[in-house]
Structure 1
Amino acid sequence: MKTSERIAEVERICGHKFANRDLITSAITHPSAVEGKPVSASYERLEFLGDSILGAIIATEVFERFPQMDEGELTRLKISLVSGEMLSKVAGDLGIGPLIIVGESEKGTGARGMHSALENVYEAIVGALYLDAGYDETHRFVMETVFPHISPKLAERPISPKSRLQEVTQRDLRCAPEYKLVAEEGPAHDPTFTSVVLVDGRRIGRGKGSSKKGSETAAALDALERLQAGKHGTTDDGAVEDSQDFDEQ
């Protein structure tokens, strides 16, 4: 399928014709297809923006729609709606999978690679739509695609390590955790990401995964275990340089 045909189909799915075609081209391009080119050629930067925009839209909507829910329930509901599982399903149902531009190295990764790519491309499309059409059109798209899946029961699911850590730090330390990507290794088709989680500028956990979100989840789980054991794993000045304790993991 030609790139122009892919773009036309994505525009149909979004209900918006892009004035800046470079944005939507990047949004559907996997890093493996543009190795050696500027980072803006793939979906990575747009994914970062889309993740934030999507989170803000969904947080606002669940806050307004469910006034009876407490902070913990709202957190679990939001986390469920922006999870990789949910976004991959949404993107797959929209028919985005065949439209993703991938390199030869990625074509052999199978379901695992496609699951991650679907999630990332959905967020990148949200970011591209926000830049090209503005908030209202982006809000409409998110509401049409993600919110049909909303259910109060999602707030009852077992809480993820990231949302559990957020509950703990907000309750005990009155601040939210912050995740920082500190390393990316391996080829584009099989990368390993390393992230640390910080609270008030101090590192409390570290983790690795095959995706950025996976490494953040591992870092959150590590932080929870350390907090429970009373070992915070931070440096005196709150720096994120690796300590011997963290290098062993």
Structure 2
Amino acid sequence: MKMHQRVAAAEKICGHKFKDRTLITSAITHPSAVEGQPVSASYERLEFLGDSILGAMVATDLFEAFPAMDEGGLTRMKISLVSGKTLSEVAGELGVGDVIVFGESEKGTGARGMHSALENVYESIVGALYLDAGYEATHDFVRRTLSPYMSPKLAERPISPKSRLQEVTQRDMRCAPEYKLEGEEGPAHKPTFTSVVLVDGRRVGRGKGCSKKESESAAALDALERMGYQQAGE
């Protein structure tokens, strides 16, 4: 599929014709396809923006949809909805995998590489939509694609390390954990990220992963172990 066809297909997925087509082009371009070019040529910067916007939109929708649910339940639902598993599944059903532009070095990574790319491109599309179409159009896209997954049962599922750490720190220390990217190493098509987690300004955990979210989850698990908590209970 040629680039203009991929862009047109991506616009159909978004339900929006971009005024600035460089945004949607970057949003569907894997870093391996533009090695040596400016960072804006791939989806990485848009993914960063989209991740933050997506979190705020999902939190708002959950707050309004479940007025009787406590903070812990809302947190578990939000983390599940914006998890890599959910986003990659949603992106796959939307047909995002057919429009992603990969470089030769990434084409042999198989299902694992595609899973990560689907998650990242969903977030980068959110970022691109926000810049080109504004908040409401972006929120409409998020609602349309994620609302079928929004169920109170998510609040009952096994809690993730990040969610568990947030619950115990807010309960016992009256503060929320803060994650920071400490470093990135390896080739552009297969990087390893290192993140640290801070609680009340103090580093309590460190972790590595093949995505920023995986490294944050590993850091949260490390923090729980160091602080004497268990993931599912105390």
Q: Same fold (TM over 0.5)?
A: yes
- The SS at the match of 1:19 is coil
- Tell me what 1:184 maps to: 184
User: What is the percent sequence identity of the aligned residues?
Assistant: 79
| Matching of residue 64 in structure 1 with residue 49 in structure 2 | no
Amino acid paired to 1:131:
L
Amino acid paired to 2:133:
A
Q: CA deviation at 1:202?
A: 1.6
Give the Cα–Cα distance (whole angstroms) in 2 for the partners of residues 201 and 45 of structure 1. Answer: 26
- Tell me what 1:237 maps to: none
Q: Structure 2-normalised TM-score?
A: 0.96
- Tell me what 1:234 maps to: none
Pairing of 1:1-249 with structure 2 (within 5 A): 1-228=1-228
Q: CA deviation at 1:22?
A: 0.8
Q: Structure 1-normalised TM-score?
A: 0.90
Q: CA deviation at 1:87?
A: 0.2
- The SS at the match of 1:228 is coil
Q: CA deviation at 1:38?
A: 1.2
Which blocks of at least 5 consecutive residues in structure 1 are unaligned? 230-249
Give the Cα–Cα distance (whole angstroms) in 1 for the partners of residues 29 and 119 of structure 2. Answer: 13
Moved over 6 A (4+): none
Per-residue CA shift, 1:80-134, capped at 9, x if unaligned?
A: 1001000000000000001001100100000000000000000000000001000
- The SS at the match of 1:37 is coil
Q: CA deviation at 1:200?
A: 2.5
Give the Cα–Cα distance (whole angstroms) in 2 for the partners of residues 96 and 190 of structure 1. Answer: 20
Give the Cα–Cα distance (whole angstroms) in 1 for the partners of residues 165 and 80 of structure 2. Answer: 15
Amino acid paired to 1:90:
V
Per-residue CA shift, 1:155-183, capped at 9, x if unaligned?
A: 10000000111111111222211111111
Amino acid paired to 1:145:
T
- The SS at the match of 1:146 is helix
- The SS at the match of 2:217 is helix
Give the Cα–Cα distance (whole angstroms) in 1 for the partners of residues 39 and 179 of structure 2. Answer: 20
Amino acid paired to 2:228:
Q
Are the counterparts in 2 of residues 106 and 188 from structure 1 also a CA contact under 8 Å? no
Q: CA deviation at 1:188?
A: 2.3
Which blocks of at least 5 consecutive residues in structure 2 are unaligned? 230-234
Give the Cα–Cα distance (whole angstroms) in 2 for the partners of residues 7 and 171 of structure 1. Answer: 46
- Higher relative contact order at CA 8 Å, sep ≥6: structure 1 or structure 2? 2
